[in-house]
């Protein structure tokens, strides 16, 4: 009888070993491979998996952090290249218009056309690489880093170049903020001209078919949302208006009811039309 029991025990162990082996030599055993009597072995496998993942966790976090920093640095460089390309294109367009008026519309049309096509190809390549950076940061759950980089590198230089007390009071008396509407409109038009294609590309990537921002951020802990219009444009504008004490007081605490009402109307109009003005294609983009 003892010999029979020993043979049965050996057969059970052999069956368990065969089941584990059938899962593949490179895979750890599955929980379903064990019977209820194999609790000790099962706990050992779970513990081994936990130790394995615990050892890898610091490396995974370090790799994720390094990858995010690399993507942000690349995104900043690409944004600078886009700005340089658009500025060169605007300068050449101005020079061509002046040259056409001076010589009666003469010039090398073929050279101008080839130059435009080359810059269009460069712009499309930069736009494609920026899209890759945005997707990578979104997959890593670092959408806020992408928004901050866009605000810092692309938007803040435009705001600093246009926002001043002189321009705020342009067209009126001191303290009336008569130029607020035109100042905000100029900022929006400049951003649209320089970075409108990037904003439209980002909006199409992270907006679903119904026109709403992707809900994956709520469904997944990693998040899949980058909102450049709100966090990349409006937040820097609002921050700049609030950061300067003089400008802040002139806009939000002028001490005159009519001025306060006019400032409120200008900001409300700017905010309500911000997305449309930024995402609308310019006549130059329509021709490309």
228 contacts: CB under 8 Å, gap ≥ 6: 146, 147, 150, 198, 199, 202, 203
pLDDT at 224: 45
> Of the ranges 127-141, 162-176, 262-276, which one carries the lowest mean pLDDT score?
162-176
Q: Which tokens is 221 given?
A: 């802990």
pLDDT the model gives residue 218: 45
The percentage of residues in the chain with a pLDDT greater than 70, rounded to a whole number, is 72
Contact 228, 150 (CB under 8 A): yes
Of the ranges 8-22, 46-60, 228-242, 257-271, which one carries the lowest mean pLDDT score? 8-22
The total of other beta-carbon atoms located within 10 Å of residue 83's CB is: 16
Arithmetic mean of pLDDT, 23-45: 57
pLDDT at 34 exceeding the cut of 70: no
Between the alpha carbon of residue 234 and those of residues 45, 82, 191, 197, 258, the distances in Å are 52, 20, 11, 17, 25
Round the average pLDDT of the chain to a whole number and report it: 79
Q: Where residue 221 falls among pLDDT bands split at 50, 70, 90?
A: very low
| 192 CB neighbour count, 10 Å cutoff | 22
The predicted model gives 201-221 an average pLDDT of 60
With contact defined as beta carbons under 8 Å apart, do 226 and 72 qualify? no
Percent pLDDT > 90 in the chain is 46
pTM here?
0.73
Q: How far apart are CA 49 and CA 42, in angstroms?
A: 11
Instruction: Please give the pLDDT value at position 42.
Output: 67
């Amino acid at each position: 009888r003892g010999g029979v029991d020993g043979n049965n025990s050996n057969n059970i162990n052999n069956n368990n070993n065969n089941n584990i082996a059938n899962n593949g030599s490179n895979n750890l055993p599955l929980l379903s491979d064990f019977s209820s009597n194999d609790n000790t072995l099962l706990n050992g496998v779970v513990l081994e998996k936990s130790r394995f993942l615990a050892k890898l966790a610091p490396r995974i976090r370090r790799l994720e952090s390094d990858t995010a920093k690399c993507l942000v640095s690349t995104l900043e460089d690409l944004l600078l290249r886009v700005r340089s390309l658009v500025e060169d294109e605007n300068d050449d367009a101005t020079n061509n218009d002046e040259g056409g008026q001076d010589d009666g519309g003469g010039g090398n049309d073929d050279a101008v056309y080839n130059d435009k096509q080359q810059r269009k190809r460069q712009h499309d390549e930069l736009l494609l690489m920026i899209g890759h950076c945005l997707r990578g940061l979104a997959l890593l759950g670092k959408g806020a880093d992408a928004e901050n980089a866009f605000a810092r590198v692309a938007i803040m230089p435009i705001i600093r170049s246009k926002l001043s007390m002189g321009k705020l009071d342009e067209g009126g008396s001191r303290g009336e903020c008569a130029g607020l509407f035109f100042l905000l409109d100029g900022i929006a038009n400049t951003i649209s001209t320089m970075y409108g294609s990037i904003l439209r590309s980002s909006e199409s990537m992270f907006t679903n078919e119904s026109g709403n921002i992707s809900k994956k951020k709520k469904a997944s802990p990693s998040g899949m949302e980058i909102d450049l219009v709100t966090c990349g444009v409006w937040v820097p504008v609002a921050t700049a208006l609030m950061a300067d004490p003089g400008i802040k007081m002139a806009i939000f605490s002028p001490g005159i009811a009519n001025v306060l009402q006019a400032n409120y109307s200008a900001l409300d109009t700017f905010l309500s039309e911000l997305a449309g003005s930024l995402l609308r294609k310019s006549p130059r983009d329509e021709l490309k």
